[in-house]
A and B are shown apart, each in its own frame.
Chain A
């Protein structure tokens, strides 16, 4: 089917975003279960509203770059990280669920280290979530993340990365990360920009060098 080809093509330059109203929780859960191999569209559910997003290629590339950045920095600094990718996190009691662009357990890495599944009624939410926002979501994602107690969100508009940390019930912008305190929004923004112009081995080396300097400085 040609439409399926278009929606699945890696070449699309803009995110495709659809919002369905009046969807009940049971429908959402069945949709999650229907296609076990589903990677796209990403689903976000917020009290009856279901948003479906098929990410564009720039969206996926930036998301992969930031994931790689976290992996390199954490490895260089000897910080254990469990990358949870776009795992579905949901809480029926809140009638909310989401699939982040990428997510990490860092402070709580040990608590979920041996687990194959995460149940948010007993397990902690991810410590860090990346939200690519190349186009405006119909949902208030930060309110959703706050209700689920996500301590830290990195939001990227395709150019800038902004760090938000949870302060009681709201997020406030923060110059540096909670999970990786040596990382600032400016550093992320700079390495994201570099990733567009540098060859990947050079970029990898530059990030490693930067992290090594931080390690030396702190020890």
Chain B
């Protein structure tokens, strides 16, 4: 059996069960804007993902591709990265690897920061 003393290059994924909506909000707040692990919440289940570097490279490459195509086609897009989207009414939330406003780019254009709670209100 191989013994590893270096950090595994694979994605690290841990799931917690019976997590309340309030606890999910707390963890999001405490993590702040750090580009740390991504949190996905689905009605009590909380998945925490620590992406590997290879995962991030692929993610950034795809995001760059989207930006290049949009620029080439003169389409206004807004890259909002892995911001948190959550809806209390659905008891669900996620942080995508990358995300874009394209058709609705105009609605978010002048915002310095899209707040997850704003997104929450807008949809809720």
Residues of A within 8 A of B (CB): 1, 3-4, 6-8, 14-24, 27, 30-31, 34-36, 38, 41, 52-54, 58, 134-136, 157-159
Contacts and interface: CB of A to CB of B under 8 A. Distances in A.
Contacts of B91: none
A31 B36 contact: no
Interface in B1-26: 1, 3-8, 10, 12-20, 23, 26
B10 to A, nearest CB: 7
B18 A34 contact: yes
Contact of A34 (B6, B7, B20): B20
Given A3-B47, A4-B45, A20-B36, 8 more contacts: A4-B17, A7-B47, A16-B14, A27-B30, A31-B16, A53-B14, A136-B7, A159-B3
A22 B30 contact: yes
Given A19-B50, A35-B19, A135-B8, A41 B30 contact: no
Contact of A157 (B3, B8, B17, B34): B3
Q: What bracket does the count of chain B residues touching chain A fall in?
A: 20 to 34
A14 B8 contact: yes
A53 B27 CA distance: 17
A35 B13 contact: no
Interface of B: 1, 3-8, 10, 12-20, 23, 26-27, 30-32, 34, 36-37, 42, 45, 47-50
Contacts of A31: 16, 19, 23
26 contacts: A1-B45, A7-B13, A7-B47, A8-B15, A16-B13, A16-B14, A17-B50, A20-B27, A20-B30, A20-B36, A22-B31, A22-B34, A34-B16, A34-B18, A41-B15, A52-B14, A53-B14, A135-B4, A135-B5, A136-B4, A136-B5, A136-B6, A136-B7, A157-B5, A158-B3, A159-B1
B31 A20 contact: yes
Contacts of A23: 27, 30
Given A20-B27, A22-B31, A27-B30, A134 B4 contact: yes
Contacts of A18: 12-14, 37, 48-50
Contacts of A7: 13-15, 47
Contacts of B3: 134, 157-159
A22 B32 CA distance: 9
Contacts of A20: 27, 30-31, 36-37, 48
A35 B17 contact: yes
Nearest to B17: A35
B12 A17 contact: yes
Contacts of A24: 30
Greatest chain A CB density within 10 A among B14, B20, B49 is at: B14
B56 to A, nearest CB: 16
Greatest chain A CB density within 10 A among B8, B10, B15, B32 is at: B15
A218 B120 CA distance: 70
A21 B6 contact: no
Nearest to B37: A18
Contacts of A134: 3-4
